Structure 1
């Protein structure tokens, strides 16, 4: 179970760290080609979302790695499930039916939640 957790949590952490860093560092114009929804999202909200993603990515990995408050990894995984459910709703409300990535991330985060509850 530990190997499965570390594999999945590591991949999710890499994805969200990269995605969050892009939202924190790039301009709206630089993000537009890869994230069509940013044109109608205020920049402070976009930057906050990036910070949440980076902190969540760290939360998946650092607490179990250090042994300090390992329950935070479970909270981070649950947070990513909720984040992607919200993202799916945003995409659908704006007429974007390309939600495969969002649903895949919901599933991956949900499995990570389950794995975290079995050994943390």
Structure 2
């Protein structure tokens, strides 16, 4: 057995670092995706390879962009400030829902090559939900 296996403080520190890494990666991905949807029109999104945007209502595209940006901010800000850190888990859970819905749209449209990206992002977000609940929760500021 290593020290990592027997010392809960070290194990928790390792989980905390890993979860922060997952949160930062997810936040970066969703900030980029969300701001792209917020700043671009349907035709621009289609030209970027987002074929689903061709027939999607304008407000739906903007709503998805807002949800992705809000989720990204929710992954970082509550945990970093320790103000209502449970919101980090909720933000990650919300992004899980977004990824399930996105995968459904891509499968429906026959865009199977995009689904693995949705699956990886879902898995990272689910890891954050589980990890912040069980392995390395963040205590609220007192």
What TM-score comes out, normalization by structure 2 length? 0.81
Helix, strand or coil: the match of 1:72?
helix
Q: Which residue of 2 aligns with 1:101?
A: 117
* Equivalent residue pairs, number: 120
Q: CA deviation at 1:104?
A: 0.9
The CA RMSD measured in Å over matched residues stands at 0.9
- Aligned pairs for 1:21-36 (under 5 A) are 21-32=35-46, 33-36=48-51
Q: Which residue of 2 aligns with 1:79?
A: 94
What TM-score comes out, normalization by structure 1 length? 0.95
| Unaligned stretches of 5+ residues in structure 2 | 1-14
Moved over 4 A (4+): none
Whole-angstrom distance in 2 between the partners of 1:110 and 1:96: 23
| Unaligned stretches of 5+ residues in structure 1 | none
- Aligned pairs for 1:52-67 (under 5 A) are 52-67=67-82
Whole-angstrom distance in 2 between the partners of 1:116 and 1:69: 13
Q: CA deviation at 1:42?
A: 0.4
The higher radius of gyration belongs to: 2
Helix, strand or coil: the match of 1:80?
helix
Whole-angstrom distance in 1 between the partners of 2:41 and 2:105: 20
CA contact (8 A) 1:4 1:115 kept: no
Task: State which of 65, 69, 86 in structure 1 corresponds to 2:84.
Answer: 69
Deviations 1:66-120 (A, max 9, x none): 1111000000011111110111111111122121111111111111111211323
Task: State which of 26, 34, 41 in structure 2 corresponds to 1:12.
Answer: 26
Whole-angstrom distance in 2 between the partners of 1:63 and 1:20: 19
Q: Which residue of 2 aligns with 1:42?
A: 57
